Amino acid sequence: MNIKNIEIYEGLPKVVVSISGTSFADIQKEIVQVKENTDALDIVEIRSDAFDNMSRSEHLSLVNEVCKELSGLPVIYTYRTSHEGGSGSKSYAEYKDLLTDVITKCDIDIIDIEFITGGNVISDIVDCAAEHGKTVLLSHHNFKETPRLEEMQKLLYKMHSAGGEILKLAFAPNDADDVVNMLKIVKIGKEAIGNKVIGISMGESGRMTRLAGGEFGSCMTYGYITKNTAPGQVHAARIKDALKAYEN
Ligand SMILES: O=C1C[C@@](O)(C(=O)O)C[C@@H](O)[C@@H]1O
């Protein structure tokens, strides 16, 4: 899948950095940082839960401003709810309303939809994204623990059947086995459905999934330029550097 000249499923995993400022001024600064560090990243994620207190029209125009300023880069739109480690507090109905508004009115490329938290509204959002040519990234996070391997496998297949083009699992590991299982589930996913999976073990002990996950089939890895949006993230330039070891 090619988005803005980036082959998402081929070669090294693509480095995603988040824009997570809470104000227009903060986000302007982040845009400058992204522009100055384009060698260290491939994709930008807008973490819109950070500016949840803006009006809808300010929200949509800020998203479009980022898309315009960074028009050469694929843009993922993410509204991360408090159920999955973010600061968003919208109800299911409000979540659906926001995401469908963004899909229909903004120039984003990929929409991150929370598979579990989205509940029964996700199929409507998935259909809306398909209608408007946006790529669906279904995600699920747990900041406390990593489910058993069989559970993760079932979850991944359900996410795939629900219309996820890219599937992301981000779980906190409690021991080294959890990290190994995360790499295993990425490999299982790759064998079953291709390089469409992103597997992240959050926290310091899971860092290797961010650096070496591509060897097992992770198609993207999340890092930071200005400030991290999850535990265990590594600076994007350091990720790019580490990935050189896997270049053919
Ligand atoms: O889902 C993810 C992954 C992430 O939680 C991480 O662990 O790097 C960071 C988030 O910004 C992003 O939406």
Q: Is the CB of 78 under 6 A from ligand 1?
A: yes
Q: Is 190 designated active site? A: no
Ligand 1 contact via 221 beta carbon (within 6 Å): no
What is the distance between the alpha carbons of residues 228 and 235, in angstroms, rounded to a whole number?
Answer: 8
Q: What is the pLDDT of residue 118?
A: 63
Amino acid at 170: A
Active site annotation includes 141: yes
On whether 28 is known to bind a ligand per the annotation, the reply is no
The predicted pLDDT at position 116 comes to 81
Q: What is the pLDDT of residue 197?
A: 98
pLDDT attached to residue 5: 95
User: Hey, what amino acid is at 146?
Assistant: T
pLDDT tens digit sequence for 200-227: 999 999 999 999 999 999 999 999 998 8
Q: Which CATH class is domain 13-246?
A: alpha beta
Q: What is the pLDDT of residue 35?
A: 98
Residue to mutate (ligand 1; options 19, 47, 222; most atoms within 8 A of CB): 222
Question: 21 vs 37, 74, 97, 188, CA distance in Å?
Answer: 17, 19, 22, 36
Structure ipTM: 0.99
- Report which ligand 1 atom has the smallest distance to the Cα of 20: 11
Burial class of residue 12 (count of CB atoms within 10 Å of its CB; 0-12, 13-18, 19+)? middle
The span from the CA of 115 to the CA of 120, in Å, is 9
The answer, yes or no, to whether any atom of ligand 1 lies below 6 A from the CB of 140, is: no
Q: 68: CA distance to ligand 1 center in Å?
A: 23
Q: What are the pLDDT tens digits along the chain (248 aa)?
A: 999 999 999 999 999 999 999 999 999 999 999 999 999 999 999 999 999 999 999 999 999 999 999 999 999 999 999 999 999 999 989 999 999 999 999 999 999 999 987 667 899 999 999 999 999 999 999 999 999 999 999 999 999 999 999 999 999 999 999 999 999 999 999 999 999 999 999 999 999 999 999 999 999 999 999 889 999 999 999 999 999 999 98
Sorted by where each begins, the domain ranges of the chain are 13-246
The 197-201 sheet, strands edge to edge: 197-201, 166-171, 135-142, 110-114, 75-78, 43-47, 14-19, 220-223
If you measure from the C-alpha of residue 204 to the centroid of ligand 1, how many angstroms do you get, rounded to a whole number?
14
Rounding to the nearest 10 degrees, give the CA dihedral for residues 91, 55, 61, 138. -10
